[in-house]
A and B are shown apart, each in its own frame.
Chain A
């Protein structure tokens, strides 16, 4: 058994490394798209330079930016790392509190299962309702509404995963077969998500002039970044709490 402190420190370290590597993935795949989007934004801004400034933060070329583009490229790694640390901490707490309720004798499977659940609930469910947008897309005036609805999809995503797990356990009374559990759990999850998607407001703010290919590539880069983060978090945490190595080491010490 590990102490909570030990479980937590492992989560934070794994989260930091996962965040750094996700940041590297984002740097390679996402930065070129952001540069292209900012170029479009600046072209639009200079075309509409007589419009009254809205006062919201802009990337307009004529304004001296608060942080240079190089600074923001560094900031990408900072943001991804800090986000990874935060997720790693929450993941470690989730693992500690939920481990006994997961019906597996393997800590590795428990960690991987939790990461998969977190990925579906926190990444996929919000992604398909409110896909991320590059700079130059999105109306500054709706940022509060978009933030609230995004956070709602995140909570609903976790609820949908919970509903899926609960349903898969409930249908076991009709036959304890893998396909019955999978179908029951999957149906509950999908049903919850579909209902939520229908109720939540539509947000469609992509300008008609914005290149579809660029938007698609940016969204793939964003999805890839979060996929890398969660995959490494799950595999990394499973490896980090594996007790075989320390046990073998200590038994050697005893034998010596």
Chain B
């Protein structure tokens, strides 16, 4: 087995409950944003189909299934 790489040169902070909480919050918000772009039909945005139609070309080209 290879020895674990020394962590002194690594750019990230050590794991802590606080960091994990912020990480989870970030992922949650990012997933909401991705949902808004890729799947929303007014349920989250409360804008009816407006945002859905506005980002329609983008969704098709980003590979998300649509109608």
CA–CA, A5 to B26, complex, Å? 10
Q: Pick the contact of B11 from A2, A86, A176 — CB < 8 Å?
A: A2
Interface size on B, residues (CB 8 A): 45
A99: B residues at CB distance < 8 A: 10-12
Q: Pick the contact of A222 from B10, B27, B53, B62 — CB < 8 Å?
A: B62
A14: interface (CB < 8 Å):
no
* Interface hits, B42-60 → A, CB 8 Å: 48-50, 52-60
Task: Using CB atoms, name the residue of chain B closest to A25.
Answer: B61
Contact A146 B65 (CB under 8 A): yes
A42: interface (CB < 8 Å):
no
A26: interface (CB < 8 Å):
yes
Total A-B Cβ pairs within 8 A: 181
Binds B, one of A43-51, A123-131, A189-197, A206-214: A123-131
* Interface hits, A17-57 → B, CB 8 Å: 23, 26, 30-31, 34, 56-57
- Kindly supply a per-residue 1/0 record for chain A positions 212-256, scoring 1 wherever the CB is within 8 Å of any chain B CB and 0 otherwise: 000000100111011000000000000001010000000000000
Minimum CB–CB distance for A165 against chain B, Å:
14
- Kindly supply a per-residue 1/0 record for chain B positions 12-29, scoring 1 wherever the CB is within 8 Å of any chain A CB and 0 otherwise: 110100010011001101
A66: interface (CB < 8 Å):
yes
Contact A89 B36 (CB under 8 A): no
CA–CA, A57 to B50, complex, Å? 11
B66: A residues at CB distance < 8 A: 133, 135, 138, 143
Can you show 10 pairs from A to B with CB atoms below 8 A apart?
A: A26-B61, A67-B54, A72-B54, A75-B53, A83-B33, A83-B34, A97-B23, A138-B66, A140-B67, A176-B2
- A residues bordering B, Cβ < 8 Å? 1-4, 7-8, 23, 26, 30-31, 34, 56-57, 65-67, 71-80, 82-83, 85-87, 89-90, 92-93, 95-97, 99-100, 103-105, 107, 123, 126-127, 130, 132-135, 138, 140, 143, 146-147, 150, 172-173, 176, 218, 221-223, 225-226, 241, 243
